[in-house]
Amino acid sequence: PVAVRLGEGGAVEPLAVGAFVPMTVTGGSWQLEGDALKFDLQMSGMTRGDIDLPEDRLHFRTAAWGGTMASRGRLLLLQTRFGFRREWRMVGVFKSEPLDEVANDNSDDGDGNGDGGDVDGGG
């Protein structure tokens, strides 16, 4: 699993990466296009068995309505085929859920319960 924060100005910041993620993940960008939330992270690449993901940006796409996003989405890579044709390839799915910010910030968000608020997350 990977937990991310969708920050102001379209920045995506990885907050935590699971112990069994066999690659390095760094920040990227996000945007809303109509009813779709799109964000990406830079990854170092990985090979496991017959699966080979090159060092590239891993793209995440899911439905979004206002401040709410769908709980599932698609993982995509933009790859070149036949040496010149660029196409999107689906390489997996992801689950999204709000994260409790208590682990990262013990400040109160003003609602009196001391939970620090929620952060949109993906991964």
Q: Where are the domains of the chain?
A: 2-101
Q: Is the pLDDT of residue 115 over 50?
A: no
The per-residue pLDDT of the chain, averaged, comes to 81
pLDDT in tens, 39-83: 999 999 888 888 888 899 999 999 999 888 999 999 998 887 888
pTM of the prediction?
Answer: 0.72
List of long-range contacts for 57-63, beta carbons under 8 Å, 24+ apart: 57/28, 58/25, 58/91, 59/88, 60/94, 60/122, 61/36, 61/37, 62/36, 62/37, 62/94, 62/96, 62/122, 63/35, 63/36, 63/37
